[in-house]
Structures are given as structure tokens and as C-alpha cells.
Structure 1
């Protein structure tokens, strides 16, 4: 349950960030409508009215497209920066359950993200009724979709913060997770295809065009939803980020209450993750740089050199990121 004392503490500590986030999220939607209106008025002043159309399109240059960034900022402030500054240790020593601490932090940010955007949607709807544009495209679907996607990225970064020992690690884990479904499936197959010369996608899936499978795979990568093209897809597509939001929430909640030993400044709070993640980073580095070497030289020699470089880079990045303690 959310505790009032903790809620007040979080509010006082992050007051500036929370207020600025609320202001941005509330104004982004109505400003999208007003921006379209101002463009139409400018057109009317300098062109023939028949060439001017007052259309509000939430797929083209919508200001709400970047609302998900606010979710990331809030999650880093609520968890990552506390770990980096060392204030999390003091908080955990207060007479509160770890579940109370996580729930208070998580739902404070969630309320800011969801209710601020809901108010913004209502203001935009009223502004549309007042200005009477000729056409409005994707108002409800776009606004609700951005709420879901903002909440998904917020949940993802909060889950990363529950696993990480500092803000840098939190962001790196979140970025890696956002593309991981694609990397762990697509990247190895591309390398097998280079080595064997056989289009593995066609062999395994019996698809004449494997790009369809690749596109379907990307829908399970959070990074895909940064692009607003999902607005034109089926409305049921938003069920995927909604389910991922719930999954990230439970991962973050369980991780926060289970990791009692705070490894101050280290990449992962759970030491058991260090070696498997290092191996994964090295393998992905080998595969990724191998593809780059192959593309640059169009030869197997370039592919091998790229794999060697990727292995070295992957080892160095994983070693200095995971095993080196960040001082507070």
C-alpha cells in the first residue's frame, strides 16, 4: 500500500521534477490542437483559403509523441538517482516495508503520468469543440495510446532501477531490454545466414517473405513504440505494451522487495546476474560487430575481424560497467 509519510517525502524530494512533468504532460495535448490551428491561420493570411485546411492529425508532428520521455525521467529520479546519491540506504533503514517504498514510488510516478495526460486529453477535446477543426484524426486512439506507451516505458525503467545499483546502470538496462527481444532472436539468425549462406528465416518459418516475421517480432520490443506509426495499426496492437507494462511492474516489485543487500554503486544489485549478462553482452558484441564487418567489407575476412573486435569491445564494456563500482 502507498504510505502517506513516504508519499510526502517523495513529493518534497522530487517536487520540481514532478511539477514540470505535470505541466508538460497537461499542455502537450492541447498545444497540439492549437499548433494545428495556428498553422491554418498563417496559411489563411498568406494563401488562398481553398488551399488551407484546419486538420488536427495525431499521427503527424504531434507534440504528445515524446510524452514517454517524461516517464523515463520520473523513473530515474524516483529510483536511479537515489541509488547513485546513496540516499536509498537511509530510506531503506526507515520503519517502512520495502513493498511500501516501491509501491509509493511507483504509483506516485504512475499517477503523474496517467492523470496529467488524461487532463491534457480533456483540455484538447474542449479546445477542439471550441475551434471546430474540419477534421480530427486519431484523437482518442492517439491520446490513449500515448498514455499506455508512457506507462510502459515508466514501468520498464522502474523495473530496471529495481535491478540496478545506479542511474547509469538503470538506463543502460532499460535501453538493452527495449531492443532485447529483437537482438536475441534476429541477430543470431543473421549470423547463421552469413555462415551457411541459407536464408534461415525461410527454412524455419516457411514464410516466403521473412520480413513479415521480423516486423511481428519488433512489436514485442518496447523501442518500436517510440515511432508513432502504431497509430495507424489495429487498436488491439496497444494490448502488447499494456501487457508489457504489467510484466515490468511485477518484475520491478519482486526485484525491489527481494534484493535486501544494497551493493552500493555496482551495476546489478543481484550479484548472480553479473556473469550471465557479461557473457550475453560479449556474444551480442561478437554477432553485432560481425555483421558490421561483413557489411563493410563484403567478405568473410571482414566478418571475422568484426567478430574479434566485437568480442573485445563487449568484454571491455561489460567488465568496466558491471564489475567496477561507481562511487557516490
Structure 2
């Protein structure tokens, strides 16, 4: 599944970013534990002991909640920057199948993300046993959950990279996908509320809105999911598998002659162009209405949104980026 020659090539090309990613992910968790310990000890030296508790809270003060950023960086280096620099053309000309190239790239980054954080989890667990904090909240759930969410964002950005022809398009596509489930449902509901004169939130309950966020990838950037049920992590786990399948099929099946364009698959250009215009109309229309609560502002906002959406999507999608 993973070729040694390709693995060595990826290692040599991305050696610095891989090593930095491993160091950060391995030590982020234990260093957070040790930092909380030293902070409590420093407090004891200058303050009343009742104000110097040694508590670990993986919901409020967890520095590992930004570990997902490493997954995004790795995906950009392994896929997007290769296309932006043109080195992907050379890689695809080597006597390896597209499937083997993708599997080597994908699982190299996946191993870095998963096993580095597992080592960090073990080190943090040992530190907790040694230092004996007064209270530990959500340690297992927060640490394992961060591994899953980091892998989800890595898979998402890798999938975007297999569809996009440059690093900018990869990141923009990933971001749009991360917020799209929420946008395509809430924006139309707000507009229905404006046109009907009813409050938008009357159309669905708070519980429905909360569940909708659970299926929106960007929701997992924040650590608020830690307070939810442990079974909530099944959602990003399933999304990770879905993004992996999309990435694998896309990299294997799509041609590479549009390297540098926004999308490698020309068929996506027109529907995404139209979708961006529609979202621009809906978003700016809502902004125009919210400024003065008037239909005039609503219509003007929609016109501006349509123009902005057309220009941004046209020059982004239809203009090739030079290497």
C-alpha cells in the first residue's frame, strides 16, 4: 500500500515540517500538564493555597485544542504546495500508480498525526500519575477526541487538495466545505423568515440547530464538543472516512492537465461558480436587511452579493495560477 521509495521521497521533501509536527504533537499534551503544575506551584509560593489549585480541564484551558492546525499544515505541504510548485507533475511521471502515490502521501501524514498524539497522550498520562493533580476533567475524552478531529481536518484538506489545482484553492475549498452544511440550511431559513415576516428560528428548535452544528466540520475547531457525549466523536470519525474515500477516488481518477487551475475537474467549475453567487446573494441580502430592517436594504445587499460572488468566484475559478 505504501512504497518505500515514495515514502523516502516524501520524507526528504517535507522533512522539516514533519519533524516539527511530530515534536509539537508529542509534547503539546504533557507540556500543558507540566505548565499547569508549575503555575500552581508558583502560585503557592506567593498566595494563599486555597487560590492555587492544580486542576487540569481539557474543556476550558486545553492547549491541545489547536492540534488540528498541524493536520491542515501537513495536508497543504503534502498535496497543495506540490501542485502550486509544479513538482506534482514530476511525481506523477514516476513509475508508480496514482493509487500508490496517494496512499503513501495520505498515510504518512496520518501516522504523524495519530501516533504523535498517542505518544503525547501516554506521556501526559504518566505525568498525571506522578504529579497527582487535584482534579482532571475530560482527559481521555479530550485527548482522544483531539486525535479524531485532527485526523478529520487532515482528511478534509487532503480531499480538497485532490480536487484543487493549487494550495490557495485547496484551503478555500476545505474552508467552504467545513461551513457548507450549516450555510445551506440556515441561510435559506433566514430568508424565508424575512419574506414571511416570521422569526427565522421559529422554523426549527434550538436542539435542531445544535445537532446541525454537530455535522458541520468547523464546529470541531472549538473544544466545546468535549462536554458532549463521547458518542459524538463518531460523527468526525465517519466524516474522516468519507473525506478519505473522496480524496482517494479523486486523486486516482482525475487527470492532472489542469494543474494550477482552481479545480482539476473542469465539470466542477460551473456549479461551484453558481453556488458561490447564490451564497453571496443570500449572505449580503441578509446583511443588507439587518442594517436597517428594510426590504430596500435587503434588495441592495442581494445585488451587491451577486456581483461580489460573481467576481470572486470567476477570477478564482477561471484564472490559472502560474507556478
Quick one: distance in 2 between partners of 1:43 and 1:116?
32
Q: Deviations over 1:114-168 (max 9, x none)?
A: 0000000000011111111111111111000000000000000000000000000
Which residue of structure 2 lines up, in the alignment, with residue 262 of structure 1? 257
Contact 2:255 2:265 in 1 (8 A): no
Quick one: distance in 2 between partners of 1:57 and 1:232?
11
Task: Say if 2:225 is the partner of 1:227.
Answer: no
Could you tell which deviates more after superposition, 253-262 or 151-160? 253-262
- The within-5 A match list for 1:129-144 is 129-144=129-144
Quick one: distance in 1 between partners of 2:105 and 2:51?
51
Contact 1:285 1:310 in 2 (8 A): yes
Corresponding pairs, count: 323
Quick one: distance in 1 between partners of 2:103 and 2:209?
36
- The within-5 A match list for 1:67-82 is 67-82=67-82
Q: TM-score, normalised by structure 2?
A: 0.98
Contact 2:149 2:236 in 1 (8 A): yes
Quick one: distance in 2 between partners of 1:245 and 1:282?
28
* Unmatched tracts of structure 1, length 5 or more: none
- The within-5 A match list for 1:98-247 is 98-199=98-199, 202=202, 210-247=205-242
Contact 1:181 1:221 in 2 (8 A): yes
Q: CA RMSD in A?
A: 1.0
Q: Deviations over 1:45-76 (max 9, x none)?
A: 11111222111111122110100000000000
Quick one: distance in 2 between partners of 1:32 and 1:277?
42
Contact 1:31 1:63 in 2 (8 A): no
Q: Which secondary structure does the structure 2 equivalent of 1:136 belong to? A: strand
Which residue of structure 2 lines up, in the alignment, with residue 285 of structure 1? 280
1:248 to 205, 230, 243: 243
Which residue of structure 2 lines up, in the alignment, with residue 322 of structure 1? 317
**Aligned-pair distance for 1:262?**
2.8
Could you tell which deviates more after superposition, 291-300 or 72-81? 291-300
Quick one: distance in 2 between partners of 1:48 and 1:221?
44
**Aligned-pair distance for 1:201?**
5.8
Q: Which secondary structure does the structure 1 equivalent of 2:258 belong to? A: coil
| Runs of 4+ more than 6 Å apart | none
**Aligned-pair distance for 1:193?**
1.2
Quick one: distance in 2 between partners of 1:74 and 1:239?
23
* Unmatched tracts of structure 2, length 5 or more: none
Closer, same or farther: CA 201–134 of 1 in aligned 2, 3 Å: closer
Quick one: distance in 1 between partners of 2:289 and 2:312?
22
Quick one: distance in 2 between partners of 1:227 and 1:258?
35
**Aligned-pair distance for 1:197?**
1.4
